[in-house]
Amino acid sequence: MVGLFPVFIISLLFILLGLGHWIGRKYEHPWLGMAIGIGIFMLTALCYIGVILLHLWWQPNLPICHLGKCKKYKDYELIKLTDGSWVYRCCCGTYYILKEAEGKGRLFMVYLEDGNTKPYLKHTRFGRWKSDNRRVVEGELS
Ligand SMILES: [Zn+2]
């Protein structure tokens, strides 16, 4: 859905420019049409930004770390990017793995020193982060 957004926004821009042009000709007032077209476009853009902010509030890219200190995306450092999983280190020095759960959402796991991972949080596609109660998964990232 997000990937198609540029196509959508460019189409919308042309539709609105056309509409603005048409209104301008109909009422013989070229600036009015353009102003309406640009106004609707800006309003749409603002709504889109609002939706993104709401989404980030509802489902942040990275949740709060297990010590409760690191709350923002910038508190984490991306260490490694592999196929479908990201390794992050939070400001407390704990390593985490963020992993896609086969289109069902994402898992956020603590990366243990012995190479195993400990489930910490998970979210469904549209849900919020909540605790993942599974036991230690051995060699998930071997
Ligand atoms: Zn932390």
* Alpha carbon of 121 to ligand 1 centroid (Å): 14
In the 3-class helix/strand/coil scheme, how is 71-99 assigned residue by residue? CCHHHEEEEEEECCEEEEEECCCCEEEEE
CA of 69 to the centre of ligand 1 (A): 5
**Tens digit of each residue's pLDDT (9 = 90 or more) over 89-130:** 999 999 999 998 877 889 999 998 888 889 999 999 889 999
Q: Ligand 1 centre from 48 Cα, in Å?
A: 31
Predicted TM-score of the model (pTM): 0.66
Distance 120 CA to ligand 1 centre (A): 13
Ligand 1 ion: Cβ-proximal residues, 5 Å cutoff = 65, 67, 69-70, 90, 92
117, containing H or E segment: strand 117-124
Question: Cβ(132)–Cβ(98) under 8 Å?
Answer: no
